[in-house]
Amino acid sequence: MAAARRTHCRGFTLVELLVVIGIIALLISILLPALNRARQQAQRTQCLAHLSQLSKVYLIYGNDNKMCAPIGYWNGFWTGYMINTDTAGKTYPIIGTLYQARLLPEPPMFLFCQSQPDERFQFNTPQNNWPPPRKSPAQYIRASYFTRPVVKWSGNAPVNNEWPRWNKLKDKAVFADVMAIPSTSSGPGYRLAIHGEGANIGYADHSAAWMGASSFQYYLDEVARQSPGPSSDLYLNESDPDNTTGLWGVFDKR
């Protein structure tokens, strides 16, 4: 009878395992930056779409309200990102005007950017609950974007009751990623590089574009240096007829 043949299963040696692990680690190191860049680009594109959609909702509001654009800042503070400011649900300044007019979907995800690192400007976090009204006196409800500081607000309406007209803004920048907040400009509220070292800007003509931070870094640094009470000219210099100075002047199309 022929001798039975034995089949031996040879395992990997330690050296072979180390080589395989090294190859896998090398591939990860090569692919990970590319994957991160792809994710950032996807989030930037989504954010640009958000700004375009926000502009269109503002136009709908304007068509029903003599072309008024509820943009600006609230009670003298840099709060162009506000949705709700009271626990009773009565005060909806700035972007909150759209919520009060029932023009926002539920939930209004186009008001929030996935790249935003600060929980105060993210959707439905302990520091930014949804839906309104806010749940505690120390908490506000905010969007991930803020608006052009054209007029000062008090309560639900501008102090002088004069909103800018949407059809007069033309190619002006009206929305942007939250940045350079005076009271927190050295902390999370000052962080800007959430879209590849730059920011997304939305315009009144419903377009949106990414802008490199080098174009406006001077104003961000000055806001941080002068905080908590920086000059309003760092945002929009109303004495400059061409609006070529100030943060929002830089945002405007050339």
- Contact present, 233 and 246 (Cβ < 8 Å): yes
Pick from 82, 60, 177, 76: which is nearest to 132 by CA? 82
Residue 184 placed within a domain: yes
Residue 32 placed within a domain: no
Residue 3 placed within a domain: no
Residue 16 placed within a domain: no
Query: What does the pLDDT read at residue 95?
Result: 92
Q: Using DSSP, state whether 174 is helix, strand or coil.
A: strand
Q: What is the pTM of this model?
A: 0.81
Beta carbons within 10 angstroms of residue 226's beta carbon: 13
116-148 tens-digit pLDDT: 888 889 999 988 999 999 888 878 899 999 999
Residue 1 placed within a domain: no
Answer yes or no: is pLDDT of 8 > 80: no
Average pLDDT, the chain: 82
Residue 34 placed within a domain: no
Task: Decide which of 246 and 3 is more confident.
Answer: 246
Pick from 86, 78, 79: which is nearest to 132 by CA? 86
With tokens 């931070």, the residue in question is 213
Answer yes or no: is pLDDT of 174 > 70: yes
Query: What does the pLDDT read at residue 43?
Result: 83
Query: What does the pLDDT read at residue 2?
Result: 47
The dihedral formed by the CA atoms of 205, 208, 211 and 213, expressed in degrees to the nearest 10 = 100
- Contact present, 181 and 78 (Cβ < 8 Å): yes
Interatomic CA distance for residues 249 and 254, integer angstroms: 10
Answer yes or no: is pLDDT of 97 > 80: yes
Residue 18 placed within a domain: no
Confidence of residue 184 (pLDDT cuts 50, 70, 90): low
Confidence of residue 1 (pLDDT cuts 50, 70, 90): very low
70-83 tens-digit pLDDT: 888 766 566 789 89
Segments forming the whole domain that contains residue 52: 41-251
Beta carbons within 8 Å of 54's beta carbon, 6+ residues apart: 95, 110, 111, 145, 175, 202
Query: What does the pLDDT read at residue 186?
Result: 60
Residue 20 placed within a domain: no
Number of domains in the chain: 1
19-67 tens-digit pLDDT: 788 888 877 777 777 667 777 778 888 999 999 999 999 999 999 988 9
